[in-house]
């Protein structure tokens, strides 16, 4: 395969890339953008089939790592070259490495991941707004080998550029499921998944509960916590003690504490 050279902003490939900067279009087309050498390599090693096409700036192709990646991708993928000036117009990073890929989303279904005999951990993010928090939690979920990340309605887009960068490639290694209603609550409970909610509205420390069996750990909105209606559905409400003079923990830190506590008994 040969790389096609694109020099015009009016090219359909360039227009598609620019359209994918909007959540509405990402959802409509089922695609998103990833940028940078490391993330594209991670995508290649995780699931190369989801790569739609890759764009390199002319100078990136001449760099040592860019040249190697360019040759690898040319074997099985559509690759385009654009002048540096045009690449700067399509990138969403301040200091671009001159390479981006358009990747196909995978439409995971929760029911295909559930098994009553499976003691898996699910992480549920209820209206998390900050892309950095979202990305960090996804990364942590992969680190502890969680089964999936479930996002409730009103959560930040897991496929926007800031979130994807924050995942450090983890976005390719775990099912991410966006669900508009609370049907996931019934689905998890019917499969013996106990729901644990992080909240200040309890006297029970996260250190005082049993983490055996299948678990669904819920992290709420940064400002307002878990939705009150959803909080009524949880099996265990827990709080993380704060010893010093600070009001609360960052959502991604809270998620990390609970996720690692949940797998502690496995590694003792």
Question: What is the predicted pLDDT for the residue at 53?
Answer: 97
Q: What is the pLDDT of residues 7-17, one digit of tens each?
A: 999 999 999 99
| Helix H or strand E encompassing 166 | helix 161-167
Question: What is the predicted pLDDT for the residue at 265?
Answer: 74
Q: What is the CATH number of the domain that holds 31?
A: 3.30.1330.30
Alpha-carbon distance of 161 to 220, in angstroms, equals 22
Question: What is the predicted pLDDT for the residue at 31?
Answer: 98
Question: What is the predicted pLDDT for the residue at 68?
Answer: 93
- Domain end among 54, 74, 104: 104
- Domain end among 104, 121, 155: 104
Q: 252 and 185, same structural domain? A: yes
Q: 228 and 170, same structural domain? A: yes
Q: 146 and 254, same structural domain? A: yes
Q: The domain containing residue 73 runs over which residues?
A: 4-104
Tally of domains in the chain: 2
- Domain end among 104, 129, 151: 104
Where would I find the beta strands (DSSP E) of the chain? 4-5, 31-35, 51-57, 78-82, 99-104, 121-125, 148-152, 176-179, 193-198, 214-219, 236-238
Q: 248 and 180, same structural domain? A: yes
Question: What is the predicted pLDDT for the residue at 251?
Answer: 96
Pick the closest to residue 125 from 183, 173, 197, 32 (CA basis).
197
> By CB neighbour count within 10 A (0-12 exposed, 13-18 middle, 19+ buried), where does 29 fall?
middle
Q: 62 and 194, same structural domain? A: no
Q: 202 and 154, same structural domain? A: yes
Alpha-carbon distance of 47 to 40, in angstroms, equals 10
- pTM for the whole thing? 0.94
Q: 211 and 100, same structural domain? A: no
Q: 140 and 197, same structural domain? A: yes
Helices H, strands E: what count in the chain? 11, 11
Q: What is the CATH number of the domain that holds 227?
A: 3.40.1280.10
Q: Which DSSP state fits 48?
A: G
Q: 155 and 92, same structural domain? A: no
Question: What is the predicted pLDDT for the residue at 267?
Answer: 66
Chain centroid to Cα 57, Å, comes to 26
Which residue ranges in the chain fall short of pLDDT 50?
Answer: none
Question: What is the predicted pLDDT for the residue at 116?
Answer: 85
Specify the 3-state DSSP secondary structure of 104. strand
Q: 252 and 134, same structural domain? A: yes
Question: What is the predicted pLDDT for the residue at 268?
Answer: 61
Q: 67 and 168, same structural domain? A: no
Q: 116 and 242, same structural domain? A: yes
Per-residue tokens: 151: 């996002």
């Amino acid at each position: 395969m040969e790389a096609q050279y694109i020099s015009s902003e009016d090219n359909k490939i360039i227009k598609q890339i620019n359209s994918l900067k909007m959540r509405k279009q990402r959802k409509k087309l089922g695609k998103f953008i990833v940028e940078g050498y490391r993330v594209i390599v991670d995508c290649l090693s995780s699931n190369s089939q989801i790569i739609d096409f890759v764009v390199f700036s002319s100078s990136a192709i001449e760099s040592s790592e860019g040249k190697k990646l360019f040759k690898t991708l040319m074997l099985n993928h559509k690759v385009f070259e654009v002048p540096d000036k045009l690449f700067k117009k399509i990138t969403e990073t301040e200091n671009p490495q001159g390479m981006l890929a358009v990747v196909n989303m995978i439409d995971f279904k929760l029911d295909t991941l559930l098994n009553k005999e499976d003691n898996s951990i699910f992480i549920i993010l209820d209206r998390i707004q900050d892309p950095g928090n979202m990305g960090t939690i996804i990364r942590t979920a992969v680190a502890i080998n969680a089964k999936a990340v479930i996002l409730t309605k009103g959560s930040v887009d897991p496929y926007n550029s800031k979130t994807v960068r924050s995942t450090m490639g983890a976005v390719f290694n775990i099912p991410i499921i966006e669900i508009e209603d609370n049907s996931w609550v019934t689905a998890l409970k019917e499969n013996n998944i106990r729901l644990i909610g992080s909240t200040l509205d309890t006297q029970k420390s996260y250190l005082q509960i049993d983490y055996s069996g299948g678990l669904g750990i819920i992290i709420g909105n940064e400002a307002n916590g878990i939705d009150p209606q959803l909080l009524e559905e949880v099996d265990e409400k827990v709080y993380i003690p704060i010893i010093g003079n600070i009001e609360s923990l960052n959502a991604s830190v809270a998620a990390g504490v609970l996720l690692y506590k949940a797998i502690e008994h496995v590694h003792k």
